[in-house]
Amino acid sequence: MYVYRPHDKQLLSERVAQFRDQTRRYLDGQLSNDEFLPLRLQNGLYIQRYAPMLRVSVPYGMLSSTQLRMLGRIAREWDKGYAHVSTRQNIQYNWPDLEDVPDILAALAEVEMHAIQTSGNCIRNVTTDEFAGINAAEIEDPRPWCEIIRQWATFNPEFAYLPRKFKIAVNAVPDADPALIGVHDIGVQVVHRDGETGFRVLAGGGLGRTPMVGEVIGDFVPWPHLLSYLEAILRVYNKYGNRDNKYKARIKILVKALGAEKFRALTEAEFAELKDGPMTLTADEVDTMRGHFSTPAYDTALGQRPAALEEALASNKAFNRWFHTNVTAHRQPGYAAVTLTLKKTGRAPGDITDEELDAVADLAETYSFAEARTTHQQNIVLGDVRQDQLFPLWEKLDALGFATPNLKLLTDMIACPGGDFCSLANAKSIPIAEAIQRHFDDMDYLHDLGPIDVNISGCMNACGHHHIGHIGILGVDKKGREYYQITLGGRGDKVSKIGEKLGPSFDADQVVPVIARLVDLYVEQRKPDELFVDTYERLGIEPFKERAYATDH
Ligand code: HEM
Ligand code: SF4
Query: pTM of this prediction?
Result: 0.94
Least confident of 49-63, 205-219, 527-541: 49-63
> Residue 49 pLDDT > 80, yes or no?
no
* DSSP structure string for 131-192: TTTT-TT-SS-SHHHHHHHHHHHTT-GGGSS-SS-B-EEEE--TT--TT-GGGSSEEEEEEE
What SS3 state is found at 115? Answer: coil
Section 97-109 average pLDDT: 96
- pLDDT one-digit tens code per residue, 432-443: 999 999 999 999
pLDDT band at 47 (very low <50, low <70, confident <90, very high): confident
The residue whose CB lies within 8 Å of the most ligand 2 atoms, and thus the one to mutate among 457, 465, 466, is 457
CA of 512 to the centre of ligand 2 (A): 21
> How many other CB atoms sit within 10 Å of the CB of residue 32?
9
What is the Cα–Cα distance from 133 to 1, expressed in whole angstroms? Answer: 11
Which residue puts its alpha carbon closest to atom 22 of ligand 1? 463
- pLDDT one-digit tens code per residue, 395-428: 999 999 999 999 999 999 999 989 988 889 999 9
Task: Write down the pLDDT at residue 199.
Answer: 98
- pLDDT one-digit tens code per residue, 65-74: 999 999 999 9
> Residue 553 pLDDT > 60, yes or no?
no
Task: Write down the pLDDT at residue 284.
Answer: 97
pLDDT band at 494 (very low <50, low <70, confident <90, very high): confident
The residue whose CB lies within 8 Å of the most ligand 1 atoms, and thus the one to mutate among 461, 466, 467, 468, is 461
Q: Quick one: which ligand is closest to 118's CA?
A: 1
pLDDT band at 92 (very low <50, low <70, confident <90, very high): very high
1 vs 284 pLDDT, higher one: 284
Strand order in the sheet with 196-203: 127-128, 168-171, 186-193, 196-203, 215-222
Section 186-209 average pLDDT: 97
The residue whose CB lies within 8 Å of the most ligand 2 atoms, and thus the one to mutate among 94, 459, 477, is 459
> Residue 386 pLDDT > 60, yes or no?
yes
CA of 196 to the centre of ligand 1 (A): 37
What is the Cα–Cα distance from 526 to 541, expressed in whole angstroms? Answer: 14
What is the Cα–Cα distance from 317 to 323, expressed in whole angstroms? Answer: 10
CA of 499 to the centre of ligand 1 (A): 18
pLDDT band at 274 (very low <50, low <70, confident <90, very high): very high
Q: Quick one: which ligand is closest to 467's CA?
A: 1
Section 313-333 average pLDDT: 96
Task: Write down the pLDDT at residue 223.
Answer: 98
What SS3 state is found at 372? Answer: strand
The percent of residues above 90 in pLDDT, for the chain, comes to: 93
Task: Write down the pLDDT at residue 140.
Answer: 96
Task: Write down the pLDDT at residue 226.
Answer: 98
- pLDDT one-digit tens code per residue, 113-157: 999 999 999 999 999 999 999 999 999 999 999 999 999 999 999
- pLDDT one-digit tens code per residue, 224-242: 999 999 999 999 999 999 9
Task: Write down the pLDDT at residue 3.
Answer: 86
Q: Alpha-carbon torsion 214, 219, 221, 223, what sign?
A: positive
CA of 377 to the centre of ligand 1 (A): 14
Section 23-28 average pLDDT: 96
* C-alpha distances out from residue 210 to 206, 251, 478, Å: 8, 11, 20
Q: What is the mean pLDDT of the chain?
A: 95
* DSSP structure string for 182-202: GGSSEEEEEEEETTEEEEEEE
Task: Write down the pLDDT at residue 552.
Answer: 55
Which residue puts its alpha carbon closest to atom 16 of ligand 1? 208
The percent of residues above 70 in pLDDT, for the chain, comes to: 100
Task: Write down the pLDDT at residue 1.
Answer: 85
